[in-house]
């Protein structure tokens, strides 16, 4: 698998990690959980417990079931926070209308 990230992907991951946990709101820094390996823009901000803890996603998922959340619910929360924090997309092209 190609592990090389573009500068924009690295920047995105840093932003995701600077968010609170998308499942339980624990303060940052969070981990960036990859829903699909190698895809940086569908990563979810997660605290250790909700990510790799015994009851986290990679464990029993009990913390997720309590909140009735799946990965897309958590991704929606991550993206909502990015956008509401004023996510700046850097454009390489400019269009005139
Ligand atoms: Zn959490
Ligand atoms: Zn993960």
pLDDT at 90: 60
How far does residue 11's CA lie from ligand 1's centre (Å)?
A: 22
pLDDT at residue 55 greater than cutoff 90: yes
pLDDT at 49: 98
Report residue 22 as tokens: 């998308």
How far does residue 82's CA lie from ligand 1's centre (Å)?
A: 17
- pTM: predicted TM-score of the whole model, two decimal places: 0.86
How far does residue 50's CA lie from ligand 2's centre (Å)?
A: 9
CA–CA separation, 14 vs 57, rounded Å? 21
How far does residue 46's CA lie from ligand 2's centre (Å)?
A: 8
CA–CA separation, 95 vs 31, rounded Å? 36
Based on its alpha-carbon atoms, the radius of gyration of the chain, rounded to whole angstroms, reads 15
Report residue 71 as tokens: 């990965």
pLDDT at residue 46 greater than cutoff 80: yes
pLDDT at 56: 98
pLDDT at 7: 95
How far does residue 88's CA lie from ligand 2's centre (Å)?
A: 25
Comparing 17-31, 37-51, 77-91, the range with the smallest average pLDDT is 77-91
Is 31 strand, coil or helix? Answer: strand
Largest alpha-carbon pair distance within the chain? 53
């Amino acid at each position: 698998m190609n592990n090389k990230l573009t500068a924009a992907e690295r920047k995105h991951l840093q932003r995701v990690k600077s968010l609170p946990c998308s499942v339980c709101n624990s303060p940052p820094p969070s981990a960036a959980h990859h829903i699909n390996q190698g895809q940086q823009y569908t990563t979810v901000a997660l605290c250790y417990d909700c990510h790799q803890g015994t009851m986290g996603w990679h464990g029993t998922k009990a913390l997720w079931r309590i909140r009735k959340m799946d990965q897309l619910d958590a991704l929606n929360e991550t993206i909502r926070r990015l956008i509401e924090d004023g996510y700046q997309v850097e454009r390489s092209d400019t269009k005139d209308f």
